[in-house]
């Protein structure tokens, strides 16, 4: 098990890939982001996107899945916050996302000696290596148990 | 239809309410954030949360739904980015979220005279008026058509 103490600034991980389907985009959109360009193919064609696109929150959720998969060896990560979340371009039906994570900061908790904060820069790119989403996420991670 | 030009800094809106069920939390968790405290009731009881909690990304997605519902009169809002996203406390099965939005900044686009950027502070609170999530979202909004 990888704890706070085992994580170093500069650590980089690459995720698996995730391909999003049209029905997954419209299902998420109908539930959480019912704007025409996420749920209605005809209306989406007349929109600024020229076709159906995934909700930006769905793109972020897919990144979370890829991150969880690529850090299964790490102690539970409790999300504290996210900064500089940017959607650079949309994710369309049939497109594939993969994630690159890099640890950019870590610091012990001042109030809880058993935990520390780790900040990771996430970049999600599509099948053409174009940047789709980026953000910096801070999570609380357990410190290694005392010997 | 409410366009960029009709939106003022200081505009405040209050959303409807949204109650999240246990099955909705585990369904979202299994698909997008498969950590034990989002998908497994027994494991969640032994976790730092002491029970099942919604993924932070699901909480954000619920806020998006509440925001779309409370701004149906506004021209299409294309999300550009989010800053200072913070999860203050978890959202648990059966709990209810409602959103307060306040416009904190607006500026015309320099590259596209037909659009402007609007930044809104979002605060999601639970049924006990406790702050669950907060963030500042920037979206591109169409300007009113020329007369």
On whether residue A147 sits in a domain, the answer given is no
Q: In whole angstroms, what is the distance from residue A92 CA to residue A82 CA?
A: 24
Summarised one tens digit per residue, pLDDT across range A58-77 is 999 999 999 999 988 888 78
Nearest-Cα residue of chain B relative to residue A65: B32
> Does the beta-carbon distance from B35 to A77 stay under 8 Å?
yes
A15: three-class secondary structure by DSSP = strand
Contacts of B19 (CB under 8 A, 6+ apart): B94, B95, B96, B97
- pLDDT for residue B72: 85
Residue B31 counted as domain residue: yes
What b/e sequence results for A27-58 when a residue is b if at least 16 CB atoms lie within 10 Å of its CB, and e otherwise?
Answer: ebbebbbbbbbbbbeeebeebebeebbbbbbb
Q: What is the CATH number of the domain that holds B68?
A: 3.10.129.10
Q: Record the pTM.
A: 0.96
Q: What radius of gyration do chain B's Cα atoms show?
A: 17
Residues in chain A where the model's pLDDT stays below 50:
none
pLDDT score of A147: 66
- Whose structure tokens read 């701004």? B71
pLDDT at B42: 95
Angle at the Cα of B46 from the Cα atoms of A65 and A139, rounded to 5 degrees: 40
- For residue B2 the two structure tokens come to 């409410």
Sorted by sequence, the CB contacts under 8 Å of residue B90 that are 6+ apart come out as B49, B53, B54, B132
Structural domain that includes position B78: 4-142
Q: How many domains does chain A have?
A: 1
Mean pLDDT by 10 residues, chain B (147 residues): 95 97 98 96 94 98 96 87 97 98 96 94 98 97 85
B9 domain residue, yes or no: yes
Q: Which residues of A touch B (CB under 8 A)?
A: 28, 31-37, 47-48, 55-58, 60-62, 64-65, 68, 76-87, 135
B147 within a domain of the structure (yes/no): no
Residues of A in contact with B86 (CB under 8 A): 80-81
pLDDT of residue B76: 77
Is A116 domain-assigned? Answer: yes
Residues of B within 8 A of A35 (CB-CB) are 68, 76-77
Contact residues, chain B, for A135 at CB < 8 Å = 82
User: Which ipTM did the prediction report?
Assistant: 0.95
**Which residues of chain A does B87 touch, with a Cβ-Cβ cutoff of 8 Å?**
79-81
């Amino acid at each position: 098990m990888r704890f706070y103490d085992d994580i170093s600034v500069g650590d980089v991980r690459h995720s698996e890939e995730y391909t999003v389907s049209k029905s997954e985009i419209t299902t998420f959109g109908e539930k959480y982001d019912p704007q025409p360009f996420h749920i209605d193919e005809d209306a989406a064609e007349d929109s600024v996107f020229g076709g159906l696109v995934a909700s930006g929150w769905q793109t972020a959720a897919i990144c979370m899945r890829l991150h969880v998969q690529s850090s299964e060896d790490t102690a539970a990560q409790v999300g504290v916050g996210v900064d500089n979340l940017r959607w650079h371009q949309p994710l369309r039906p049939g497109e594939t996302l993969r994630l690159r994570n890099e640890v950019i900061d870590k610091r012990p908790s001042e109030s809880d000696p058993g935990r520390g904060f780790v900040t990771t820069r996430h970049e999600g790119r599509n099948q053409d290596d174009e940047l789709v989403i980026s953000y910096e996420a801070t999570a609380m991670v357990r410190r290694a148990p005392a010997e």
